[in-house]
């Protein structure tokens, strides 16, 4: 049985295939989830999956084909499968095997708009990514997520009911002077907040462009939610880091502006205010880890959600697409250390093995053994049974509404349940959130010339 990836190298909607292929005999990297993790509608697919003799492509692919191929035939060209680079369980390779696209959150968000002929869009990633697709989709394009419990922990610490009270206090104090810049890792509700204040969305690849643009508007900037990307961006732009103020840890609950470090005086003098969330995957890296590898002649590349001390020492810093391009361009004999999500590094390591260069994970410093480590556990809640189940249920017109992604949904990732806006509220939210996304696209495209 062939397990190669039958995709061409032509970019689809601006996204080029990774070309990663499943390896015969090598078990799929997947922690089997307990059955009670699945929605009742998806549980039968999980039971079948758990009953397979092993996780090798030889076992999994014929089972998966039995559900995915009929759905592909049923929907034809109207079906679009999407996955993020960080997906575990070989979903990246599986999605490409079925003709889907794999990329970072910026490129994924543009996919519905780039391919208006796609009417059924199924994403294996976290909720904010699927919602970003939905925000830019046409009305006749329906977006689905394979597992509604898949959330980004950084976004989960910046829900609208956490950020809005702080934004209200800041708006009361600074009025029209306040401008919100929302990182892509936010819900549509926070992107709409950015739009309402005249602000923009940004990603890790264009945060410097967006913040630079925002500073030129002479506003009081409020960067949500990643404090580290905010600090790294400020450092890149030469801003005075002493005049950054990080708001209290959102896990501590409500606060008053007077409680912020330095009090109201610090807030008034701040060049930029930062929401206090972060990514648990990227903040495990330390400057000592970078030094350890560099002392042994390795080139260290990191993602800008890492801490400033790590970013300042690294040999290269950039978005997930930047990191993958470095892997694509690596030459035989190169030695790369990558500080980002573990499944991504695992795929890069295999690519290096195939093409004659070495890749290690930054967190392996001093451990003496290879480990994929630091995976995005919440994103990996999307697994082969979720993919098979949602596609089969969509084909039968029985897909659970809990997997349907509408702009403005607020998701409880413990249950997967969503608080849904009514049509009028949603239209209003889409208008503001789109404005902030469009602004980002304009700023980014203008910089590209």
The site for ligand SF4 (CB under 6 A) is made up of 86, 126, 152-154, 185, 279, 281, 305, 341, 376, 379
Alpha-carbon distance 166 to 252, whole Å?
Answer: 13
CB of 305 to ligand SF4, least distance (A): 6
Alpha-carbon distance 39 to 403, whole Å?
Answer: 9
CB of 186 to ligand SF4, least distance (A): 11
Beta carbon nearer to ligand SF4, 88 or 385: 88
Alpha-carbon distance 55 to 53, whole Å?
Answer: 7
Beta carbon nearer to ligand SF4, 153 or 319: 153
CB of 105 to ligand SF4, least distance (A): 8
Beta carbon nearer to ligand SF4, 131 or 341: 341
DSSP state of 396: T
Beta carbon nearer to ligand SF4, 141 or 153: 153
- Find residue 316's DSSP bridge partners: 301
CB of 126 to ligand SF4, least distance (A): 5
Beta carbon nearer to ligand SF4, 226 or 392: 226
Beta carbon nearer to ligand SF4, 2 or 31: 31
CB of 152 to ligand SF4, least distance (A): 3
Q: Which residues contact 232 (CB under 8 A, 6 or more apart)?
A: 304, 306, 308, 311, 317
Beta carbon nearer to ligand SF4, 61 or 338: 338
Beta carbon nearer to ligand SF4, 7 or 204: 204
59, with CB counted inside 10 A (0-12, 13-18, 19+), is middle
Alpha-carbon distance 10 to 68, whole Å?
Answer: 23
Which two three-digit tokens encode residue 285? 């890296």
CB of 379 to ligand SF4, least distance (A): 5
Sign of CA dihedral 320, 215, 277, 245: positive
CB of 340 to ligand SF4, least distance (A): 8
CB of 255 to ligand SF4, least distance (A): 23
Alpha-carbon distance 229 to 241, whole Å?
Answer: 13
Q: Which residue is it, tokens 């889907």?
A: 100
Residue 214 in contact with residue 179, Cβ under 8 Å? yes
Which two three-digit tokens encode residue 21? 């292929």
Beta carbon nearer to ligand SF4, 127 or 349: 127
CB of 129 to ligand SF4, least distance (A): 8
Residue 285 in contact with residue 293, Cβ under 8 Å? no
Q: Which residue is it, tokens 């969330």?
A: 277
Beta carbon nearer to ligand SF4, 102 or 120: 102
Sign of CA dihedral 281, 414, 162, 84: positive
For the beta sheet containing 79-84, the strands, ordered from the edge strand earlier in sequence to the opposite edge, are 101-103, 79-84, 120-124, 142-145, 404-405
CB of 341 to ligand SF4, least distance (A): 5
Beta carbon nearer to ligand SF4, 281 or 387: 281
- Find residue 205's DSSP bridge partners: none
Provide the H-helix boundaries in 76-201. 91-97, 105-109, 111-114, 127-136, 153-156, 160-174, 188-196
CB of 283 to ligand SF4, least distance (A): 9
Q: What angle do CA 228, 234, 238 make, to 5 degrees?
A: 145
Helices (H) and strands (E) counted in the chain, each on its own, are: 18, 16
Share of the chain residues as helix, strand and coil, in percent rounded to the nearest 5: 50, 15, 40
Which two three-digit tokens encode residue 244? 């950054």
Beta carbon nearer to ligand SF4, 15 or 71: 15
Sign of CA dihedral 151, 140, 392, 67: negative
CB of 184 to ligand SF4, least distance (A): 10
């Amino acid at each position: 049985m062939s397990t190669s990836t039958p995709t061409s190298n032509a970019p689809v909607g601006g996204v080029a295939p990774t070309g990663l292929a499943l390896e015969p005999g090598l078990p799929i990297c997947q922690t089997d989830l307990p059955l009670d993790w699945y929605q009742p509608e998806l549980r039968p697919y999980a039971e079948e999956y758990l009953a397979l003799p092993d996780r090798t492509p030889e076992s999994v692919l014929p089972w998966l084909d039995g559900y995915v191929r009929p759905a592909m035939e049923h929907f034809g060209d109207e079906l679009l499968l999407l996955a993020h680079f960080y997906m575990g369980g070989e979903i990246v390779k599986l999605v490409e095997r079925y003709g889907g696209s794999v990329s970072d959150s910026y490129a994924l968000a543009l996919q519905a708009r780039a391919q208006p002929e796609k009417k059924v869009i199924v994403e294996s990633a976290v909720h904010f990514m699927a919602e970003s697709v939905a925000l830019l989709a046409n009305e006749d394009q329906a977006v689905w997520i394979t597992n509604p419990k898949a959330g980004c922990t950084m976004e989960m610490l910046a829900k609208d009911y956490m950020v809005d009270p702080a934004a209200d206090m800041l708006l009361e104090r600074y009025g029209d002077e306040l401008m919100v810049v929302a990182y892509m890792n936010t819900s549509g509700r926070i992107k709409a907040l950015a739009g309402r204040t005249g602000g923009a969305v940004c990603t890790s690849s264009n945060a410097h462009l967006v913040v630079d643009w925002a500073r030129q508007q002479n506003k009081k900037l409020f960067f949500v939610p990643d404090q580290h990307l905010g600090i790294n961006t400020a450092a890149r732009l030469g801003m005075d880091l002493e005049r950054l103020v990080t708001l209290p840890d959102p896990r501590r609950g409500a606060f008053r502006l007077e409680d912020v470090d330095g009090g109201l005086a610090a807030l008034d003098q701040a060049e930029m205010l930062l929401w206090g969330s972060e990514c648990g995957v990227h903040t495990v890296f330390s400057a000592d880890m970078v030094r350890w590898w560099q002392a042994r002649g390795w080139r260290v590349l990191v993602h800008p959600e890492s801490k400033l001390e790590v970013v300042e020492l690294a040999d290269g810093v950039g978005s997930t697409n930047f990191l993958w391009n470095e892997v694509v361009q690596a030459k035989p004999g190169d030695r790369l250390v990558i500080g980002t999500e573990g499944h991504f590094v695992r795929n890069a390591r295999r690519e290096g093995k195939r093409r004659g260069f070495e890749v290690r994970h930054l967190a392996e410093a001093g451990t003496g053994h290879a480990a994929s480590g630091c995976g995005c556990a919440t994103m990996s809640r999307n697994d082969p049974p979720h993919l098979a189940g949602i596609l089969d249920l969509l084909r039968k017109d029985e897909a659970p509404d809990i997997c349907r992604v509408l702009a403005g949904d607020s998701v409880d990732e413990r249950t997967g349940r969503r608080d849904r806006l009514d049509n009028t509220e949603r239209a209003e939210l889409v208008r503001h959130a789109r404005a902030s996304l469009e602004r980002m696209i304009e700023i980014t495209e203008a910089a590209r010339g």
